[in-house]
Amino acid sequence: MTQTQASLPPADTAADGDASPSTLHKMRDRVLLFAGLVACYALCEYGAGRLGVLEYPGYGASLIEQSGWVGRLLAAAFLYVVAVAVGTLVTGVVRFDGGLLVGGLGLAALSMGSASSQSVYLWADSHGGRAVFLHLALEMVLLFLFVAAAWTAVWGLRGRGWLGDATDEVDEEPAPDPKAPRDPFARPKPKPTAAQMRNRFIMALALNVIVTSLIVLLLATDEAKGQVLAAVGIAAMFGAAAAQHFFPDADSREYHWVGALAAGLIGYLAAYLAAPDLATGHPGDSALAALARPLPLDYASFGTAGAVLGRTHGMAILRMFGEMVRKS
């Protein structure tokens, strides 16, 4: 090695002790993501108080079980949509779906500002009984109508080229090496038909729902707010990652939120059919009872945020495990 080569700075650093452009970009990305998260959380927390989203802050955990629930639910949906828009403006340069990530986490301000599902079920014991599960299912559907609209808008802007970032292709399989020797007997893969693509899309969504539901069942062993939020977020992340990993050509990324929606609906409907004793404040002891421990706001906030991370972080974790298995 010559003196000139030895004196050159490493590729990821700059001369005179200055940070390299890549390091500065990473720092900028983290600052923007944190700023977007703080802005969205503050917006939802302040807006919830001004708009009266929660009738009894700290207690009312379900929007549909409160008086004037239509207005409260619309106010919560409005805050979510605005948070996604603000988050996209702040974090769009970092990742095109950054607004969906920080908007979902911002919506968690409403969830964390309320009680756990135990208070909902205790109240329902003397106010309608097991019908509360049908009410929660309806609340889930209504909230996720706005979630679906926000996701469709963001992915539509990305499709038009108005949004884009370095994570656009992070979930794609690496391209084959053009210098690698070619197999003269290899045949090109036939292009899948429309029916085959539709079947793969359906299977990708089904796998997302199954993985998300199984992880919630494993992790949501208690109604504690922090535990159910973590369970839903982790479950949605790996559900979305599994769908993308095993069906990469199914183009289901725009619908990764379906896993959280379906898991909640399955839990509420199963609990309604099981007709548990709500005097205990628990959704029963059935095999699917844990799916009814998170509330609709929990699924709509951490569930959608986790689904966003599934496209990048979840895929990275799955690939890391795959490499470990192949090397073992």
Q: 229-268: per-residue pLDDT in tens?
A: 999 999 999 999 999 989 988 888 999 999 999 999 999 9
* Cα(239)–Cα(318) distance, integer angstroms: 11
Which percentage of the chain shows pLDDT scores above 90?
A: 55
pLDDT tens column, 26-69:
888 899 999 999 999 999 999 999 999 988 877 777 899 888 99
* Cα(216)–Cα(59) distance, integer angstroms: 24
> Contact, 303 vs 257, CB < 8 A?
yes
**Residue 47 counted as domain residue:** yes
**Residue 142 counted as domain residue:** yes
**Residue 185 counted as domain residue:** no
**Residue 281 counted as domain residue:** yes
* Cα(281)–Cα(278) distance, integer angstroms: 5
Which percentage of the chain shows pLDDT scores above 70?
A: 84
**Residue 271 counted as domain residue:** yes
Work out the pLDDT band at 149, boundaries 50, 70, 90. Answer: very high
pLDDT tens column, 264-317:
999 999 999 998 888 888 898 889 999 999 999 999 999 999 999 998 887 777
**Residue 132 counted as domain residue:** yes
pLDDT given for residue 286 in this prediction: 87
> Contact, 57 vs 72, CB < 8 A?
no
* Cα(68)–Cα(138) distance, integer angstroms: 15
Q: How many domains does one find in the chain?
A: 1
Residues, the chain, total? 328
Q: Could you tell me the residue range of the domain that residue 78 belongs to?
A: 20-174+193-327
* pLDDT value at 6 more than 50: no
**Residue 149 counted as domain residue:** yes
pTM comes to: 0.85
* pLDDT value at 9 more than 50: no
**Residue 291 counted as domain residue:** yes
